[in-house]
Structures are given as C-alpha cells and as structure tokens.
Structure 1
Amino acid sequence: MTDLSKRSLMKVAALTALTSAVLIGCGKKEEAVPAAAPAPAVVEAPKPEPLKIAFAYVGPVGDGGWTFAHDNGRKALEAEFGDKIVTSFVENVPESADAERVIRDLAGQGNKLIFGTTFGYMEPMLKIAPDFKDVKFEHATGYKTAENMRTYDSRTYEGAYMAGVIAGSMTKSNKLGVVASIPIPEVIRNINSFTMGAQSVNPKVTTSVVWVNGWFDPPKETEAATSLINGGADVLFQNTDSSAVLQTAEKLGKRAFGWDSDMTAYGPKAHLGSAIINWAPYYIKATKDA
C-alpha cells in the first residue's frame, strides 16, 4: 500500500469518527422533553330540575279564611325550599266535574306533587291518581286513599271547642248562632264541638244553625248571619270561608269569631278570637317526602 493510499484511508476513518461524534452530540442536545399531560376538564354535574308543586283551591286566595291559609302554606314552602321547587295554584275550582279537569291538567303540566284543598275533590283525585303513578296527590279533609294519594287535615274541632267556651261565657241571651257550609262530617263535628264547649261553662246555651250549602258565598253568609242575629243570637260562629259573618256581627253590634285565618281586621269590635290553621308544617313535610 502506498503512502498516499494510507493517508486517504486515515482521512476517511477520521472523518467517520468525527461525524459519529457530531451525530451523537446532536442527539443528546435535541432530546425532546415529554409534554405535561393536559389538566382534565372540569364537568359540572347537571343541576336537578326543581320539584313542581301545584295547589287546587276551592275559593279565592283573598278570601281571608280557608284558601288564604292554604296559600300562606304555599308561600312558606317557597321560603323553605327556594329554587329547589316551583309552585303554582288555580283558585276558584268548584267541587264539580271542573275539579277533575283542572287537577288532571295540573298533572299533565309536569307537577309531581298536587294538593287538593277541599273535601269535594276526593272522588276526582281518586279517579285521576291511577293515571299518573309518578305524581303524589294530597287531599285535604278526605278519607279515601290510593297508592299515590293520601289525606291530611287539621284538628279544627279543638279550635271550635275553645271558641265555644268563650261564647258560652260571653253570651247574654244564651243563644248562639252558627253559619255552616255543607253538612259533611267535619263541619258537623265542629258545630258539635262549639256547642259542647259553650255548654261546658253555660248549660243554658242553645245553638241555632243556618246552612248556606257552599264554602265561599259572602252574600249568603251575610244573609245567614243576619237571620241568626234577628233570631236572638248574640254570638256567632262560622264554618265558612269568608269574613262575612264577622263583618255582619260588627255591623249589627254583636260578637263573632274568625275561622281558619286571623280575621281581626274585618271586625275588630265584634271579634272574640280566630281559630287559625297553620298548614306550613305539613306542606313542608309532604314536600320533603316527595
């Protein structure tokens, strides 16, 4: 081998070694750093839909008595549960075929808890309940139930008895008068309790009753109260929904009681007391159950 050939081979070997060194060095220099894993996206759980609750009222919310008390209970629900519920109501729903239509419509609108607040809704609600198994029906003052329908009531006879004790002590004529709505068990029970309370302190007391055959009918209630006063009654009791009886007693200079709500303002001089129903505790319980 000539010197030239040896030198050429040595140059090639040197260049090869240099290239390898450069490639190795470059490889270390440009080594990629693993990218950080992206943070998982935060997915908020969907907010539960509010429970839709509906009330069917036999009278107007401004009746000052029965329906007014129930609507106060509805407002207490809103204050208790906030945006977890949505409430609505239909007032002046008669105890007739209209009740079935209205309550069925409330169920069809997606309400899952429905309160029917008068005795006469019992049969319509009982008929509707099987068609809406996912709806809870609550019937005030009734006695029939179903798988998804239950009843509730207040011990109104206790307030009636206490009113009787006061009436028996206050009467001068020993004649008491009652303006009564519809002759169903709860109303008869209240009249009996009122009379028994009065006779517990004054055995001479007698009670006269005039039926108006309706829950909310101010003109008829006024007429009945006037008739009782003209017949000698000087203290009046009522199992009707308006303030007409107390207002009549105020006008004619006699005494009377409020019923279902505080009616003091309607006849402050005549007013001896009001048997008030607070529906809020039960409505809150029923909503929690639902």
Structure 2
Amino acid sequence: MEIDITKYLPVAAAILSATLGYIFGIRTKKNERLVQFTQENVKEVFSPMYHEMKRIIENPLIPKNRELMLDTFFERYLVNNTPVYKLGNLELLDTFYELSEKYRHFKLSRDEDIWKEVWWDFENNLFCKVKEGYRNSTNLLYSEFTWEQYTQTKPYWMKFYLESMKFLFETAKGLNIVSLLLVYFSGCFKIFRLGLFPSDFWLFSLLILVLSIVVTLILIPFNMQYITLTSNSKQSFFRRVVKKAAPKILTKWDNFLINKDYNDVPKMYKKRFLEDK
C-alpha cells in the first residue's frame, strides 16, 4: 500500500512544531525555576541532612553519643526557622515528622521496642529517601557538568561538531516520542472511526517513527562521549553494555589492562592489645 507522504506533511509538521515548541519553549522557564529551587534545597537541606545522617549511621558510636547526635539532628530540623520544607517532597516530610514524633515518645518512655522502631525507620526509611533525593537533585544540577568541561577544552571546530551531534541526537530522541504519540493517537482514531485523521495517517506516523529510531541508532556512536559523560552510572555506557552482554570478556580485558602494583602501598598498622609505650 503506497502512502502519499506530501499530503500528510502539513499535519505532521503542525503537530511536530507544536510539540517541540512546548518542549523547548514553554518548559524553559519551569526548568530554570526548578534548577534554582534545587540549588537551594541541596545546599540548605539535602546535603547537610544526608551527611549528618550518614555520620550517625556509619560511625561506631557508643549508645550515649549516638543518642546525643540524634537529639541534635531532630532539634536542628524542628526549630521555628527550619529549612526542612525545602526538601520539596510531602512524602519525605511526612516520614521525617512521623519519625520525630516517634523519637519524642522514645525519649519519654525509654522503651527498647520503640527505640528499635526508631532506629530502623531512621536508617532504612528516612535515610534512604534523603539519599535518593540528594542524588537526584545533585544529578539534576550537574548532569552535564562533566560534558561541559570536556567540550570547553576542545578547539572551536571540535566543540561545534560535538554540540551539533548532541543537538541532533536529542532532537531525534524527541522526535521518537512525538512519532510514538502520533502512531498511538492516529491508530486509536482509526480503530474507533473518529475520522480526525486520514485513514492511512497511522501508516505515515509509523513510517516516521521507524525512520526516527533508525536515525537515533545511527547517531549513538557519534554521541558515545556525550552519553558516557552525562550518565548517572559510575561506569561508561560501553562498559555497561559489555558487562551485561559478556561479563567474562570484560573481566579478562580488565585483568589484561590493569596491573595492580602493591609495592608502594604503606605497611598496615598492626594494632596490639597491649601497646608498647
């Protein structure tokens, strides 16, 4: 079945321009506000709270000192001018306030069962949520930080090439979403015979989707550095793919390349029960 692409181009262009206009235009101001708020909550709440909780959990403290640190923690974030609201997450705020109330009951009752519940919630509930929020906020602020550092050190012609490849890659990914939506809605309208689109418009949308996916796959090798530097993972995109597909080969490759030399490692301190004076 032949598809007359020319008669669908105006409709597709209108939908595409409206969608991309929303993505790159209207959301720009919202993103700027989001970045501003995220900078504030990382600096004033997430980072201090996360590192204080991490210190309480990981340090081998005696019970008295641990409880004193918990006292300080809750007192700091329950004062009148507390910045805890900048966490910006009602679920996380509810978790914090519920735990603070439970800790207050423990301080009054000195009940060991309540203490066990308090500590479990502190370590496995509140801390996990604060850690997740801290990582997400930090990633939002610095997701392209390494990439920008990388491009700024390159000559202008290389910088132009890298930024052009990035723009094409991101545009292709956006086009994938738009095309998928076109296929979905045109297919639904065809099934329910609503007649909003021409009868074979969904075939045209499917064709555009296939072409955009092919273009995206072609652009991946040209954007490997961008994908790697903007990834959340500690490992590169290539290493994650190889590790999943052929982990044994990756292990052999690492053993071949990495030669661990322990000659320069300082001697370990051999602690004795009775130290020599």
Say whether the fold is shared (TM-score over 0.5).
no
| Larger strand fraction of residues | 1
Q: Which has the higher helix share?
A: 2
Larger radius of gyration: 1
Determine which structure has greater relative contact order: mean sequence separation of CA pairs < 8 Å that are 6+ residues apart, divided by chain length. 2
Give the TM-score, by structure 1 length. Answer: 0.24
